[in-house]
Amino acid sequence: MESSNPTQSRSSSVARVLMRARGFFRIRLWAWPLIAAAVLAAFALPARADVLITTNGERFVGTLIEETTNLVVFQSGLGGRLTLYPSEIRKLERAVLETNLMSVPAPIVVATNNPKSAAPASTNLTWVPPVVGHDGADWIQLKSGEWLRGELKYIQNKEVLFDSDELDEQTLKLKDVRQMYPIHRMYTQFEDAEPVYGNVVISNDVVIVSGPEATSQPRELLTGITPGGGKVGRRNWMGKASVGVSMQSGNNSQTTVNTSAELARRTPNTRLLLDYLGNYSQANGVENANNNRVNLIYDIRLNRNWFIRPVQFEYYMDPLANISCRLTDGVGVGYYIFDRDDLEWLVSAGPSYQYTKFQTVEPGQDDTTSTPALVLESSFDYDLTRRLTFIQTIQCTLTKPEAGRYTHHAVTTLEFEIKRHLNLDVSFVWDYLQNPQNRSDGSTPLKSDRYLTIGLGVRF
């Protein structure tokens, strides 16, 4: 029997509508994440990168900046801005924006005046240059999909030195490499194992060595790869140099020059390092800084963490600190606390022998001293970003009181990669000597010398 009260009838109708709405939202609550994702996808504008393949087969992923009948300008994530002649390009694939769910035409492939053809330049990471393994060159693929053709110099300490036909020498992080196909046999070193010799392939997370000493190991166990075992050839050498100059004139005249250099030779399980650091400063015709430091070390890797240092030598001179010459020679043992692609921290310790000749001494004092010493060292290297690296090294030496008792040399550096082989280095250097030797006039040099240096560096 229906109610005759119109107000009550309207209330019932409203109640039924509210119950249906509540049921709709309750039943379909699980679907709201899918609806939100669909809405976001509808507004997203994902862009495919442009792809450029040179006539030698190298493949670059990035953005086409300019194309004329005479030149092509391409911005690559790896190689920066490339300017090429059309005759150097085999294929150029332009990107197409994909919007919403609408179908779009296939990417436009722009043919050049080079008659050679190649496989479609897809951005798919599974694409492989057809000449890999047949053209006498080494090939490397990055996780971005870019392919480089050239010569593998070495892999060590999670770094890859590769000499590209198009980009010259490139220092890459091993974590950025997806595949590698060297053409010649190489020596490959794995953790806790002797080096093996044969053809080597790196594919994703596996390193495969074929030949009489065939093996297959996870990439995380790889400690190094060098052609010829690192016995001969210049390919195992690399270096860097940095120079900073500051000049001031007027009421005050000042000149400051800071220089540093490093030369290293690496094999799968050894490292030979020679480095130099020098500072010179003159203010109003008076020399207020003049010191030079040379270090030579040789490390032999025993396994993933431990290494021995049969050679550890340092030459140092600083006349203003009353040190005409100081020689420290010793051995050591070290341990890698961290050894990752983006973070390396190693410590070492060992006995040494130190000889010091002072610039001047007080009457009746010996101008030389020699002493046993204990040398402690820490080296920390961390990639803050792809281009910015934080480096800190500190070396502490304990001797008898006549030789200074305690000294340390600490360097903190921010290294910014401007482009390929060019860096901007900002360093803070702190040299400390606990017991300086008095000069002939009875004065005592300061215990600490501190320098802030800014310079441009090159890698070679």
The H or E element that residue 7 is part of is helix 6-27
Compute mean pLDDT per 10 residues along the chain, 460 residues long, and list them: 49 52 46 46 52 86 87 81 85 63 37 40 67 88 89 84 82 87 88 85 89 87 74 63 82 86 83 93 88 96 90 96 96 92 91 96 92 97 90 96 95 88 90 94 92 87
Count CB neighbours of 446 within 10 A: 11
The two structure tokens encoding residue 48: 């495919």
Structural domain boundaries in the chain: 236-459
**Residue 103's pLDDT is what?**
38
**Residue 122's pLDDT is what?**
44
Burial of 392: CB neighbours in 10 Å, binned 0-12, 13-18, 19+: middle
Burial of 283: CB neighbours in 10 Å, binned 0-12, 13-18, 19+: middle
Count CB neighbours of 159 within 10 A: 16
| CA distance linking residue 71 with residue 112, whole number of Å | 11
Q: Which residue has the tokens 């119950």?
A: 19
How is residue 29 annotated by DSSP? G
Count CB neighbours of 328 within 10 A: 22
User: Which of 131, 188, 197, 189 minimizes the C-alpha distance to 165?
Assistant: 131
**Residue 280's pLDDT is what?**
93
Which of the four CATH numbers 3.40.50.800, 1.20.1250.20, 3.40.50.620, 2.40.160.40 does domain 236-459 have? 2.40.160.40
Burial of 155: CB neighbours in 10 Å, binned 0-12, 13-18, 19+: buried
**Residue 373's pLDDT is what?**
97
User: Over the stretch 9-43, which tens digit does the pLDDT of each residue have?
Assistant: 545 554 554 455 454 444 444 454 444 444 444 43
C-alpha distances in Å from residue 296, one per residue of 150, 225, 278, 291, 363:
31, 23, 15, 17, 35
**Residue 80's pLDDT is what?**
76
State whether residue 6 is helix, strand or coil: helix
